[in-house]
Amino acid sequence: MQYEEILHRCFRCGYCKLPGNYVDFNCPPYQAFRFETYSPGGRMWLLRAWLDNKIELTDRLQEIIFSCVNCGNCMAHCTFPKFKDQLLPAFTAAKAELVNAGRVPPVIRDCLTRLYQSGNAYGRSPKKREQWTRGIEIERFGNQDYLFFVGDVGAFDTRGQEIARSVVRCLKANGISFGLLGAAEISDGNEAGAMGETELFRHLAEKNIQTFNALGVRQIITLSPHGFHVIKNEYPRLGGNYQVFHYSQILAPVLQKTAFRTDLPPVRVTYHDSCYLGRHNLEYGSARKMLSAVPGLELVEMERNFQNALCCGGGGGNVFTGIIGSGLDTAARARVREALASGAQVLAVACPQCAVMLADAVKVENLDGRLEVRELSEIVNSRFEAK
């Protein structure tokens, strides 16, 4: 297994379980299950034991390995320099080992099968990828400045589609020139890679790169931070070199000159840092800049923010597989409780996956009417001055 030489070096000191300010546990699977086995250190030692034939590869061990949601909290807070950078790659390598051995939990297998067969994590026909655009006019990519890459959640999830439409409206209202791939778009491959299916990732990424290159794409705006991360950081090693932006990075500067309504009641908003914007790419400013451009919004911070942000629990494919469940201590439920405790009325997100996870958690926690999960552009659009 790749990285197996580092597994024994984990001391299991537990910094990886916490945010930098120590307020609570911050590792989604550990927070959800509470057994040490689900902590990053526990996972490292179990992997070592499995490779040393001290334990068997059981269904539970598979679940433990695949419960990592790739949030990157462990890498951010491990105290061992250099070693810390290899934590997530090691966990992904372990998943890859299990994928190659054909020993993965059924929910993972099914998700990977859908990605393989349909090019998206929902198993939907590629022809339906454009359905989210119904009712709004968007051009196919041609000679515009940017390609808008919507991703699976924006294309197929009902809530994701609302968000995609909202972002498109906001981009258009601010004069951004962009086009779509339509049915030619397939999964960005990020979740396939995060679930250890490296060949499937390569297949999806290469196919997208071929499409991008054939159309002369140079600049890409992504709806999803997951897509932003993988196209920006992983596609170059497969020959796909583009200028990649998350939509918040495009909108933040232009919104500073936008005219907003000033007659609406004030709203207290807290922003949930997406892992793939924040910890993975150190992009913390654009979303906050978008929100601060809007009059009448009071931005309050949760205890866990920036590098200390608690993940929504949706990464590593969990938004599709639900492998860490929906129990009381799951990350999404803990996160909406934390948002409520901040005094916010609105929990702002920059990621469709976070939106889906957190909106579900609001329902389960019975917070409807007290806390609303809204995506950034939805908040912005609701306060545009009518022209």
Partner 1 sequence: MKELYRELATIVGPEYVSDQAEERYIYSMDPGTMPPAAPDLVVMPNSTEEVRRIMQAANRHRIPVVPLGAGLVLSGLSRALHGGIILDMKRMNRILEINEMSRYALVEAGASQGMLQAHLKKHHPGLKHSAPDAPPVATIAGNVSIHGSGHISHAHGFHSDMLNGLEVVLPTGEVVRIGSCATSDYWFARAPLPDLAGLFLGWAGTTGIITKLAIKLYPNHRFNDVGVFVSEDPELVPDILHRMTGTQMAEDITAWMTPKPDWARGFLHCNINYGANTKDELIWKRNLIRASVKDYIDRKIAGFMPLPSAMKAPFLDVPGRILTRFADVRKGGGFEYVGAIMPVELFPTAYHRGLEIAEQAAVSYSLGARVIGINHCMMFFYAYAFNRADDADVRRAQQALEETNRAVVDMGGIPWKAELPAQKEILRKMDPNMVALMTRIRAVLDPNGIMNPGNWEVD
Sole binder of partner 1 in the list 23, 254, 300, 364 (CB under 8 A): 23
| Residue placing its CB nearer to partner 1 in the complex, 15 or 178 | 15
Query: Rounded distance, CA 23 to CA 171, Å?
Result: 37
Question: How many other C-beta atoms lie within 10 A of the C-beta of residue 309?
Answer: 27
Question: Which residues, 6+ apart, have CB-to-CB distance to 146 below 8 Å?
Answer: 176, 177, 178, 179, 219, 220, 221, 245, 250
Q: Is 337 in the site for partner 1 (CB under 8 A)?
A: no
Cα–Cα dist 358/379, whole Å: 16
Options 53, 56, 137, 158; binder of partner 1; rule CB under 8 A: 56
Q: Which range in 78-86, 131-139, 176-184, 277-285 contacts partner 1 by CB under 8 A? A: 78-86
User: Are 174 and 221 spatial neighbours (Cβ–Cβ below 8 Å)?
Assistant: no
Q: Is 301 in the site for partner 1 (CB under 8 A)?
A: no
Q: Which of 3, 80, 116, 284 binds partner 1 (CB under 8 A)?
A: 80
Residue 74 C-beta: closest distance to partner 1, Å:
13
Among 3, 83, 260, 384, binds partner 1 (CB under 8 A): 83
Least distance between partner 1 and beta carbon 6 (Å): 9
Closer residue to partner 1 (CB): 62 or 198: 62
Segment contacting partner 1 by CB under 8 A, of 43-51, 110-118, 226-234, 237-245: 43-51
Residue range at the interface with partner 1 (CB under 8 A); choices 38-46, 88-96, 107-115, 203-211 = 38-46
Task: List binders of partner 1 among 136-175 (CB under 8 A).
Answer: none
**338, 302 Cβ separation under 8 angstroms:** yes
Find the binder of partner 1 among 28, 29, 33, 221 (CB under 8 A): 33
Q: In angstroms, what is the minimal distance from the CB of 335 to partner 1?
A: 17
Size, binding site for partner 1 by CB under 8 A: 36
- CB burial class (10 A; 0-12, 13-18, 19+) of residue 330? buried
Q: Which of 28, 29, 64, 351 binds partner 1 (CB under 8 A)?
A: 64
Distance CA 161, CA 155 (A): 6
Of residues 85, 46, 52, 84, the one with CA closest to residue 65? 46
Asked whether position 334 contacts partner 1 by CB under 8 A, the answer is no
**Using CA of residue 382, residue 275, residue 224, residue 111, what is the dihedral sign?**
negative
Q: Is residue 21 involved in binding partner 1 (CB under 8 A)?
A: yes
Convert 298-307 to b/e letters by CB count within 10 Å (16 or more is b): eeeebebbbb
215 binds partner 1 (CB under 8 A): no
Nearer to partner 1 (CB atom), residue 12 or residue 207: 12
Three-class secondary structure of residue 245 per DSSP: strand
Instruction: Between 59 and 139, name the residue whose CB sits nearer to partner 1.
Output: 59
Helix (H), strand (E) at residue 351: none
CB atoms within 10 A of CB 153: 29
The yes or no reply on residue 79 touching partner 1 (CB under 8 A) is yes
State the nearest-atom distance from the C-beta of 336 to partner 1, in Å: 20
Q: Which of residues 1, 2, 3, 24 is near partner 1 by CB under 8 A?
A: 24
What is the edge-to-edge ordering of all strands in the sheet holding 243-246? 178-179, 146-149, 219-222, 243-246
Interface with partner 1 includes 84 (CB under 8 A)? no
Query: Which are the contacts of 323, defined by CB distance < 8 A and separation ≥ 6?
Result: 63, 66, 67, 105, 107, 108, 317
Q: Which residues bind partner 1 (CB under 8 A)?
A: 8-15, 17-18, 21-24, 33-37, 42, 45-46, 48-49, 54-56, 58, 60-61, 64, 79-80, 83, 303, 327
